[in-house]
Structure 1
Amino acid sequence: MYQGIKNNLEQHLYQLPPRVQGHYGIRLYRMTGDEKYANAALVDLYAVTESQAFYACSLDNPGFITSEAEKAISLLGKGPRAKARKQALAPFPDFIFYTDVLLRFSSRIHEFGLRGPCNDKLLTALKKTDLKTGLTDKAMIKTWAAQLINYVYWAKQLGVGDYIKEYKQAFIEVYPNNKDSELDKKQFQNKLYGLTHFIFAASEYYQHDVDPIEFAWILDYFEANIDRILEDATDDIIAEVGISFHLAGQSDNPVVAKTQAHIVNAFDADVQFIRSPMGNSDLAQGEHRNVLAMMLLNWPQKLHKGPYFTELKATEKYMPKLVSVNK
C-alpha cells in the first residue's frame, strides 16, 4: 500500500500545484533524508518567498493589511465551517493576515534555515500586534483548533511571542475531557485535529521527536478514546493520531497498530489511493491524507531536519535571490 501511494503521487508529482508538491517533498525529505525530494521542497520555497515578498514588503502601505485580511476571509468559502470561521474572526478581522499569512510564510522559510524578504519589518509587525486575544478566543478554538496551535508554535519559533501555555489552557477550557459526550462528530474531530497538532507543531513538522511526558495528556486521551476515534474521525485525523505516537517514540503502542489497520482498510487498490470521505480520488486534494498514510505505515528510525537547501548539492545553486541564510 505504501509503495502504491508513493508511486501514484511521484508519477504525477509535476502535475500537482506548487504547494502540494512542496508539502509532499518536505515530508518525504524529513522521513528519508533523500536529496531527490529536495527540489520538490524547493518549489515550495520559491512560492512562499514570493508570497512573503509581496506581503511583508507592503506592510507600510496605507490600508494594505485591512484589504488583504478581507481578501483572506473572503477565500474561506461559503459552507457551514466557513461561516463559523468568518463569524469567529469578526471581532479581530486582521488576525488572519498576521497568522495565516505572515506567520505561515515566514515560519516555513525559517524551517529551511533561511530568512525571507523584508523579514525585520515582518517580525516587528508581528511583535506589535495582539495575537493572544485571537489565539485564546473560544469561538476561534471551536473552528480553528489545529491552525491556532500552528500559529502558537510558529510565533515562538520566530521569537515574536510565547503563547503555548495560554493556548493550552484555553483549549482545555473549550474541550474538557469530561464534556466529550456533548461534542457532535464535527466538534470531536476539531478537538482531535487540535490535539494532534500540538504534537506536530512541537516536532516542527516531523523534524525531531517530542517528549512523551510533556504530551502524555494527549497520548493518554487518544488511548482512552481510540474506539470513538476510529468510528467518528476522518482518515486524515486517524493517521495523525497514530503518527503522534511515532513522534513520541511509542510506535509499539497498540493505538498505532489500530490506526494502521484502519488506514490499510481505507486504501482503494483500484486507484492506488485513499479516497476522500465523498469518494474523490483527486491527487492534489488527497495528497495530505495519503502522505500521512505513508508516514503512519513506514515510520523511519531517524527524522531529518530541513531540508537546508544551501547545504545540498541538488539545490545549493538554485536558491531564490530574495532569501539569505539565517545566522
Structure 2
Amino acid sequence: MPSIIKISTLAAALFCANSFAADLAVTESTKSQVYQGIKNNLEEHLFELPPRVQGHYGIRQYRMTGDAKYANAALVDLYAVTEAQAFYACNLDKENFIIEQAEQAISVLGKGPRAKARKKALQPFPEFIFYTDVLLRYSSRIDEFGFTGPCHGKLTAVLKKADLKTGLTDKAMIETWAAQLVNYVYWAKQIGVGDYLADYKQAFIEVYPDNKDDKLNKKQYRNKLYGMTHFIFAASEYYQHNVDAKEFAWILDHFEHNIDRILEDATDDIIAEVGISFLLAGKTDHPVVKKTQQHIINAFDTKEQIIPSPRGNPDLVIGEHRNVLAMMLLDWPEKLHKGPYLSELKATKKYLPKQVTPIKRQAK
C-alpha cells in the first residue's frame, strides 16, 4: 500500500509540473497573440482617432520600438499642441485672460462624482488648473519633441511667478488628482519653472500613508495607486529611460506586498501600470510582472480585439490609453528610445510647425 501511495503522489506531482509548464507555454504564446491583436486593431483605426490619442499611441510605440514610422503620429500631436500653446501663451498679458481660461478649463471637467470633487478641490485656487493642465501640459510636450513653442519666454515667466506649491500639496487636490499632480511636478521641473518634487512626495505620503490603507475605499485606493505609478512614469520621462529601483523602493515594495488587493480592486489601466513600474525599474522577472500580465491577458476581449472599459465599452478613443499600456506590459523592449526628436528624423524634419524652435541638445 505505501508503494502505491508513493507512486500516486509522484504521478500527481508530475502531472502538476507538466500542467504548470503547459500554462507557462500558453501564457507566452497568448502574450504575443493579445499584443498583436490590440496592435492590429489600434493601427487599423489610428487615423480615425483624435490627434491627442494618435500622438499618445505613436509616442509610446516610438519609445518602445525606435521605429520612425510612429514619428508622424507624434508630429500630428505636435501641430495640435503648438497651436494650443500659441493661443494660451501668447495671450497671457491680456486682461482677465488667465481667469477666463481657468473658468473654461474647470467648466469642461464634467458632471460626475469625480468631476464634482475636483471642482470643489479647485475652489481655493481656480487658476491652478490653467497653469498646470494647460500651460505646463503643452510646453512640456513640445519640449519632449526637442523644441520650444510659441511665446515660450512669456509662458515660463508666468509659471515661475505662479504659486503652484499650494495646489500641488493640498490634501483635497491629492485625493482627487494624485497622478495628474505628479505629472505637473515633473513637467515644471522639466521646463525649468520650479522643483516641487520633495514637497509633493511628502504631501502625498502624508495623505496616503501605508499604515492607513485599510481605511481607503476602492476609489481612494485606486487614486493612491495611480499616483504611485506616475511617480515612476514621470521620472522615466514617460518610458524614455529606466529608473533607479532603490529610489522608488517605497512604491515597488507597496505593490509587491499588496498585489492581491491591487488585482482585486484596481482597474486594468492601473494594473498594467503597476507591472510596467517594475519593468521601468529593471525588474523584468519579478512575480508582480507575471501576475499583472496574466490579468491583462484575461481581460482581453477576443471578439473586439481590445481590452474594454470596466463597463465593457470597446471604444478605441477612450480605450487607447488602457490598451497601449497593455501592449507595453506584454512586449517590453530590451532598450527604450528617447524622443522622438522630430527635427532629427528624416520622416518628420521637413514638416515641422513654423512656430517651434529646435533645442540644441548635447550629444551623449
TM range (shorter): over 0.9
Structure 1 unaligned residues grouped into runs of 5+: none
Q: How does 1:250-265 map to 2 (within 5 A)?
A: 250-265=283-298
2:353 is the alignment partner of 1:320: yes
Q: State how far apart, in whole Å, the 2-side matches of 1:310 and 1:127 are.
A: 28
Q: 1:47-90 CA distances to partner (integer Å, 9 max, x unpaired)?
A: 00000000000000000000000000000001100000000000
- The CA deviation at 1:307 is 0.3
Q: Which amino acid in structure 2 is aligned with residue 104 of structure 1?
A: R
Q: 1:266-292 CA distances to partner (integer Å, 9 max, x unpaired)?
A: 000001000000110001110000000
Q: State how far apart, in whole Å, the 1-side matches of 2:194 and 2:341 are.
A: 25
Q: State how far apart, in whole Å, the 2-side matches of 1:307 and 1:46 are.
A: 14
Q: Secondary structure at the match of 1:258?
A: helix
Q: State how far apart, in whole Å, the 1-side matches of 2:209 and 2:353 are.
A: 46
- The CA deviation at 1:326 is 1.2
Q: Secondary structure at the match of 2:202?
A: helix
Q: Decide which of 71, 75, 84 is 1:38's aligned counterpart.
A: 71
Task: Quote the residue 2:194 is aligned against.
Answer: 161
Task: Quote the residue 2:166 is aligned against.
Answer: 133
2:299 is the alignment partner of 1:274: no
Question: Could you tell me the percent identity over the aligned residues?
Answer: 78
Q: State how far apart, in whole Å, the 2-side matches of 1:113 and 1:246 are.
A: 26
Q: State how far apart, in whole Å, the 1-side matches of 2:54 and 2:188 are.
A: 25
2:263 is the alignment partner of 1:234: no
- The CA deviation at 1:31 is 0.3
Q: State how far apart, in whole Å, the 2-side matches of 1:112 and 1:305 are.
A: 9
Structure 2 unaligned residues grouped into runs of 5+: 1-33
Task: Quote the residue 1:120 is aligned against.
Answer: 153
Q: Secondary structure at the match of 2:343?
A: helix
Q: Which amino acid in structure 2 is aligned with residue 157 of structure 1?
A: Q
Q: State how far apart, in whole Å, the 1-side matches of 2:134 and 2:226 are.
A: 21
Task: Quote the residue 2:21 is aligned against.
Answer: none
Q: 1:138-171 CA distances to partner (integer Å, 9 max, x unpaired)?
A: 0000000000000000001111110100000000
Q: State how far apart, in whole Å, the 2-side matches of 1:37 and 1:288 are.
A: 16
TM-score by length of 2: 0.90
2:338 is the alignment partner of 1:305: yes
Q: 1:108-138 CA distances to partner (integer Å, 9 max, x unpaired)?
A: 0001110000000000000000000000000
Q: State how far apart, in whole Å, the 2-side matches of 1:119 and 1:318 are.
A: 21
Task: Quote the residue 2:24 is aligned against.
Answer: none
- The CA deviation at 1:298 is 0.2
Q: Which amino acid in structure 2 is aligned with residue 2 of structure 1?
A: Y
Q: Decide which of 123, 132, 135 is 1:99's aligned counterpart.
A: 132
Task: Quote the residue 2:257 is aligned against.
Answer: 224
Q: State how far apart, in whole Å, the 2-side matches of 1:20 and 1:236 are.
A: 16
Q: State how far apart, in whole Å, the 1-side matches of 2:339 and 2:82 are.
A: 16
Q: Secondary structure at the match of 1:81?
A: helix
Between structure 1 and structure 2, the one with the greater Rg is 2
Q: State how far apart, in whole Å, the 2-side matches of 1:91 and 1:72 are.
A: 15
RMSD across aligned C-alpha pairs, in angstroms?
A: 0.4
Q: State how far apart, in whole Å, the 1-side matches of 2:88 and 2:210 are.
A: 40
Q: State how far apart, in whole Å, the 2-side matches of 1:87 and 1:8 are.
A: 39
Q: Decide which of 158, 166, 176 is 2:209's aligned counterpart.
A: 176
Task: Quote the residue 1:89 is aligned against.
Answer: 122
Q: Which amino acid in structure 1 is aligned with residue 246 of structure 2?
A: I
- Structure 1 runs, 4 residues or longer, greater than 3 Å off: none
- The CA deviation at 1:222 is 0.2
- The CA deviation at 1:94 is 0.2
Q: Secondary structure at the match of 1:201?
A: helix
2:247 is the alignment partner of 1:214: yes
